[in-house]
Amino acid sequence: MAAREARKPLKPEDFGRFLRWLSTSDALAVQEYQVIRSKLIRYFVHKGRTDADELFDRVVDIVVGKIETCETCPSPLAYCYGVARNVWRTALREPEPDSLEDDIPVQQSIEGRMHEQRLTCLDRCLDQISPADRDVIMGYYGDRGHSKIESRRQLANGLGGANALRIRMCRARKQIHACMVECLKRAAN
C-alpha cells in the first residue's frame, strides 16, 4: 500500500478566516463549524469511510483555499457538502486505511463454519415465519437489477402499496433478526 502524503496542519490565521467566513460573530461561527463538522463526519461515515475525520480536514483545507472565490456563498453548509462529495469521490480512488481488524488473522475454516451457521440459522428462522411473509421476503430479495424493481413493484401492488410493503418488510426483518440473534447465541454455546 502506498503511503499517503502527510497533511500540512492548517495555520491559525487560515482557520480564523474560515470561521469568519462562516459568521461574523465568533460564537455563531464556532457553532456553525460544529454543525458542519458533525454533518460531514456523518456523511462520510454513511458513505462507508473509516477515515471520516481526515476527509473532513481535507474539506476544510479546500474550502479555506477557495474562500476568496466563494465570499458571497449563501450557504456555507451547502458549499462544504459539495466539496465533501468531491473529496469522497477522490477518496474512492485511494486505498482505504487499514483497520485494526485487518491485523488479526482469521482462519478460513472458522470463518467458513460461522458462515454455514448463519445460513443454517437463517433457514430455521425463515421456517418459523408465516408462509405468506416468507413469500414476500423471498420475492423482495430474490431478483437483481431491473427485475428486482419490477418484482418489488408487483409485491407492493399486491399488498396495497409501497408503504404497506415497507411496513411488512420492516416487521419481517425485525422478527428474523430476533430469531437469528437467539439461534446464533445457542450455536455459540
Which residue type does 140 have? Y
pLDDT of residue 75: 85
Q: Is residue 134 part of a domain?
A: yes
User: Quick check: 4 and 94 in contact, CB under 8 A?
Assistant: yes
pLDDT digits (tens, 9 = 90+) for 22-43: 888 888 988 999 999 999 989 8
Record the cell numbers describing residue 188, joined without a space.
455459540
pLDDT digits (tens, 9 = 90+) for 87-118: 999 988 876 555 545 444 545 555 667 778 88
pLDDT digits (tens, 9 = 90+) for 125-169: 888 988 888 888 888 888 777 788 888 888 889 988 888 888 888
Instruction: Mark which of 42, 66, 92 sits at the end of a domain.
Output: 92
pLDDT digits (tens, 9 = 90+) for 62-76: 988 888 776 667 788
pTM over 0.85: no
| Residues 87 and 117 reside in one and the same domain | no
| Residues 33 and 85 reside in one and the same domain | yes
Domain total in the chain: 2
Q: Is residue 6 part of a domain?
A: no
For residue 158, what are the domain limits?
Answer: 107-188
Q: Is residue 98 part of a domain?
A: no
| Residues 135 and 75 reside in one and the same domain | no
Q: Is residue 43 part of a domain?
A: yes
Q: Report the C-alpha gap between 53 and 59 in whole angstroms.
A: 10
